[in-house]
A and B are shown apart, each in its own frame.
Chain A
Amino acid sequence: MSERMRSSIVLSLAVVIGLSTLALPLVLSSSDVEIYVTIGLATIVVTGLSLLMGFAGQVSLGQAAFYGVGAYTAGIMAVHHWPSLVALMAAPIAAGVIAFVIGVPLLRLKGHALVFSTLAFQLILLVVIENTSFLTGGAIGLSGIPALRIGPLAISTGKDYAYLVWVVAVAVLLITRNLTRSRPGRALRAMAITASGASAAGIAVESYKLKDFTLSAAYAGIAGGIYVFFIGYISPDAFPVTLSIEFVIMVVVGGIGTVSGAFVGAAVVTVISQVLTSLGTSPSLPPDLPTVLSLGVYALILIIILRLIPAGVVGTLSDLWKKTKPSASASGPVDTTGRSVLGPAVQAKDG
């Protein structure tokens, strides 16, 4: 198969997925639309995080902090009667500015010291939110956040938010994809492999890292902004450290350093955890069961996925794709998709 044919397959696949996700909210029940929005928001955050991890080689265990900054920025402004679209636009800006400001010193740290400092930043931020109740509502939170209005359009139903999230997620994915294929993208990729080598090749490593960190925070910020209008209430409980950990899990499950992996990771992890959360709640079942399922079984699935396909779903598939013979047909994704979750063992052996 020629390179052109291969890329046209990938492109048409992307279009098919894009269109089918666009049609999906029309047929989903209202609670499934909620999950659709959750996946979309996670995709936006995880795309940024994946960019940071896979391209700049920096792990952030505090990405939920920027999600929170975006949410609080939009929420506080909306409560104080700013036009909601302005509030939403301010969310990524605030998250980006904060990331830039703390990034200047923090990005001098290497490896796990940086991981720690992002985690610490989130914990500090949560304490600050809890103790500035005049602004943030403290632990009680902020309620009465009005619905989003874009010009004459009121974004109020779940479906409205589903489309808003779709548009933003697609925009974020496209921006990121173009970025990773541009000169800065190649520079970032080089950095992830060897910072000193990249530096020797004339790449301004520090500057790229900072831009990347800022951009990934802005992604999280816009997701947070949408979130706050979607839920209409905000409290520090919505941004625990475990959420940051979940974002990292999504990156790794999807496949680090792949743009589409962000979407895949967000979708797979969200669907698995939603299924597990709902499975054990039936009145006839013991009340301990949900913990066993949503912690124990979730953890087992996670461990099994990572043991069998350590490169993540998209990483593994893309390795396989590179090995495919010209005879391969284009209609593969549904199958490979199913198998990579349902039968990872088969997959790994095949590879």
Chain B
Amino acid sequence: MSAFTEYLITGIARGLVFALLATGFVLIYRVTRVVNFAQGAFAVFGGLLTFSLLRAGIPQGVSEVLAVLAVAVIGLIFGVITIAGKIPLLSSLIITIGLAMLSEAVAMLVWGSIPISYSGLAGHDFVILGAVVQRQYLLVLIVSLVLFGSMALLFDRTYFGKAMTACASNAYAAKLSGINVKRMGLLAFVLGGALGGIGGALLTPVEPMTYNADVSLSILGFAAAIVGGLTSPGLAVAGGLVFGLTEQFVSGYWSPSYDTAVALALLIVVLLWQARRMRLEGLE
């Protein structure tokens, strides 16, 4: 029982971190139609900046918030470089890859190449159904639920959120109704940066961060986001959880060598199932 609980809780916690990265993807894609492969770099900066602020003596909590704000500014800069002016979407996508590389170089210069970590939420780990769970995972859970809730509210209930979505679904109509499409896009990058930063700041205490962790983080976030077609935050959370749980159970009951591979394969199956369902609906 305790092994099962152990896998379940770790899987959920990791799934939520993926979902945090995924929501950044979703937000930016929904507004700008750009797949932002620099999303992982936001998380790296979130973790590394928190580390530096903590070391400078700034208390826990404040450090994280400051780091996230700083990453939001980085998000803005990335947004300007990626979407300003007229540029094809594919070029924008490659530019985000370039920005991710640039971030690696900067992170390497400032923080070096050694993995970096700091202690997370203080206090003893707690026991659920016989399984020891790191307290940091609880924080991941609370923060992500709050964020996902507020994102759902933002998109479904506020004029502002609807305006953001309108930019992507019909940029021309959005413009006509007085929405500044570019500005909305930049705002999406700011928020996407903040979401990535939060993910990184939460993740670093349980998984040490390195300057080049962004590639795998981006892939995991992309994997979770794709389940919702890169547009649905709710499905992205589901995607993250499916991924995290599959990894843990495959790792536990089969072999850790195959955990990511099976999770990826499962996501492909989910995507094929979605495509089939859409096709069938289209025929009706």
Contacts and interface: CB of A to CB of B under 8 A. Distances in A.
Co-assembled chains A and B: yes
A113 B105 contact: no
Interface in A60-98: none
Contacts of B87: 306-307, 310
B109 A303 contact: no
B94 A119 contact: no
Given A292-B105, A295-B105, A302-B98, A127 B257 contact: yes
B229 interface: yes
A112 B230 contact: yes
A152 B113 CA distance: 50
Interface size class of chain A, counting residues whose CB lies under 8 Å from the partner chain: 35 or more
A87 to B, nearest CB: 27
Contacts of B94: 248-249, 252, 302, 306
Contacts, number: 121
A307 B95 contact: yes
Interface in B243-284: 257-258, 260-261, 264-265, 267-268, 271-272, 274-276, 279
Contacts of A119: 219, 222
A288 interface: yes
A113 B109 contact: no
Interface string A112-131: 11011101110110011011
Nearest to B257: A131
A109 B275 contact: yes
A106 B261 CA distance: 16
Contact of A108 (B35, B230, B264, B275): B275
Interface string B88-106: 1011001101111110111
B260 A123 contact: yes
B81 interface: yes
A303 B93 CA distance: 11
A310 B91 CA distance: 6
Contacts of B279: 108
Interface in A288-304: 288, 291-292, 295-300, 302-303
Contacts of A252: 90-91, 94
Interface string A271-299: 00000000000000000100110011111
Interface string A216-251: 000000000000000000000000011001001100
B271 A113 contact: yes
B88 A310 contact: yes
A113 B98 contact: no
Contacts of A249: 94, 97
A105 interface: yes
Given A109-B275, A299-B102, A245 B261 contact: no
Contact of A303 (B98, B257, B267): B98
Contact of B271 (A109, A121, A297): A109
A188 interface: no
Contacts of B271: 109, 113, 116-117
A298 B230 contact: no
A127 B258 contact: yes
Nearest to A300: B102
B108 interface: yes
A120 B265 contact: yes
Contacts of B109: 288, 291-292, 296
A323 interface: no
B272 A123 contact: no
Contacts of B235: none
Contact of B108 (A108, A124, A291, A300): A291
Contacts of B17: none
Given A112-B230, A124-B265, A127-B257, A288 B108 contact: yes
Given A116-B226, A119-B222, A302-B95, 7 more contacts: A119-B219, A249-B94, A252-B94, A291-B109, A295-B101, A306-B95, A307-B81
State the 10 A-B residue pairs at the shortest beta-carbon distance, nearest first: A296-B105, A299-B101, A299-B102, A120-B264, A127-B261, A295-B105, A310-B91, A302-B98, A299-B98, A303-B98
19 contacts: A108-B275, A109-B275, A112-B226, A113-B271, A113-B275, A116-B222, A116-B223, A116-B267, A120-B223, A120-B267, A127-B257, A252-B91, A297-B105, A299-B102, A306-B91, A306-B98, A307-B85, A310-B88, A310-B91
